[in-house]
């Protein structure tokens, strides 16, 4: 059975505003997601044994805690074929980096197995399954640059010019749960009007993460030499937006050896969607 390899792309939060905390513990937020043409690689191979196996760069996370496995398991009741699957992960996105690695892996699993297992679920139905796996998963399922509201489930498409990004991971891991439960996190940013400008936005998590982790602050200060820098999500990855691949590569080439990074352009449509659409053709 022919293996199918699909990119699980990185995302950047170009801004992230926390509007308030709900009674159920979730936060109301507004954020602008864009996808990058770079990410983890997932290879799916159907097999006659009717089970799910996972291999590769899983970091020894037990299957019951792995979002890839959980996504495949969630689709099992809908499949129209009596075939199992082996999924191999090649990890390129840092864990705990704020670029959506786990959520993207889960969404790519849902999208790919929906086709391989002939589940015939709509994007809306897949997103509904995705929200049970994580708040960011529906964004990757929909696969369009968007402004997200609510807890991340209300999406409005957004058009952005093509830019190149140098994304830097300062080799520290940030706990999303720790940031969102911290008493010093701002939780009262007013909701945006329709005429918002990116320069008038910010990441509400950034000041707190810098206070808790000096390495993130150092990264943001270092990137300022090349342009306005910002942290994505709850960190730890930081980025600078540039007009060309050459300019972005120049930043990456100057990166201190104790940090990691990559260069990629943004893309309106998720590379996972693009690849799967081409494969179906």
pLDDT tens string 25-37: 889 999 999 999 9
Is 104 annotated as a binding-site member? yes
Does the pLDDT value for residue 38 go beyond 90? yes
Does the pLDDT value for residue 154 go beyond 90? no
Share of the chain above pLDDT 70, in %: 99
Is 56 annotated as a binding-site member? no
Mean pLDDT of 175-203: 90
Q: Which of 40, 105, 136, 204 is catalytic?
A: 136
For Cα atoms 166, 215, 189, give the angle at the middle one, nearest 5 degrees: 80
Is 210 marked active-site? Answer: no
Is 214 annotated as a binding-site member? no
Helix axes 67-75, 101-116, angle to 10 degrees: 30
Q: Where are the domains of the chain?
A: 4-158+268-280, 164-267
Write out pLDDT tens, residues 76-134. 999 999 999 999 999 999 988 899 999 999 999 999 999 999 999 999 999 999 999 98
Is 98 annotated as a binding-site member? yes
pLDDT at 196: 76
Write out pLDDT tens, residues 230-265. 999 999 999 999 999 999 999 999 999 999 999 999
pLDDT at 281: 57
Q: Report the distance separating Cα 98 and Cα 147, nearest Å.
A: 17
Mean pLDDT of 199-224: 96
Q: How many other CB atoms are found less than 10 A from the CB of residue 3?
A: 10
Mean pLDDT of 153-170: 93
Sign of CA dihedral 33, 58, 119, 273: positive
Is 84 annotated as a binding-site member? no
pLDDT bracket for residue 45 (50, 70, 90)? very high
At the top level of CATH, the class of 4-158+268-280 is alpha beta
- Note the pTM of the prediction, 2 decimals: 0.93
Is 11 marked active-site? Answer: yes
Please choose, from the candidates 249, 212, 209, 256, the residue with its C-alpha nearest in 3D space to the C-alpha of residue 233: 209
Q: Which CATH number is 164-267's, of 3.40.50.300, 3.30.70.890, 1.10.3720.10, 2.40.70.10?
A: 3.30.70.890
Tokens of 67: 């979002």
Is 231 annotated as a binding-site member? no
Q: Which of 11, 40, 79, 105 is catalytic?
A: 11
């Amino acid at each position: 059975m022919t293996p199918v390899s699909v990119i699980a792309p990185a995302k950047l939060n170009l801004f992230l505003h926390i509007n308030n905390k709900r009674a159920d513990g979730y936060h109301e937020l507004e954020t602008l997601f864009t996808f990058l043409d770079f990410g983890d690689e997932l290879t799916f191979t159907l097999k006659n044994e009717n089970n799910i196996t996972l291999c590769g760069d899983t970091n020894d996370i037990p299957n019951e805690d792995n979002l890839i496995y959980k996504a495949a398991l969630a689709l099992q009741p809908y499949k129209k074929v009596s075939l199992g699957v082996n999924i191999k992960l090649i990890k390129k996105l840092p864990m705990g980096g704020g670029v959506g690695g786990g959520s993207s892996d889960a969404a790519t699993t849902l999208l790919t197995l929906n086709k391989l297992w002939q589940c015939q679920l709509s994007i809306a139905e897949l997103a509904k399954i995705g929200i049970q796996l994580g708040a960011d998963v529906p964004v990757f399922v929909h696969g369009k640059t968007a402004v997200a509201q609510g807890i991340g489930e209300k999406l409005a498409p957004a058009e952005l010019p093509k830019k190149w990004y140098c994304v830097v991971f300062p080799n520290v891991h940030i706990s999303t749960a720790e940031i969102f439960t911290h008493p010093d996190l701002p939780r009262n940013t007013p909701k945006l009007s329709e005429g918002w400008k990116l320069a008038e936005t910010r990441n509400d998590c950034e000041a707190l993460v810098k206070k808790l982790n000096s390495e993130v602050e150092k990264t943001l200060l270092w990137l300022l030499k090349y342009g306005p820098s910002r942290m994505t999500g709850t960190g730890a990855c930081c980025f600078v937006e540039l007009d060309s691949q050459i300019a972005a590569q120049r930043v990456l080439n100057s990166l201190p050896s104790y940090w990691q990074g990559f260069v990629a352009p943004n893309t309106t449509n998720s590379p996972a969607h693009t690849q799967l659409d081409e494969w179906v053709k």
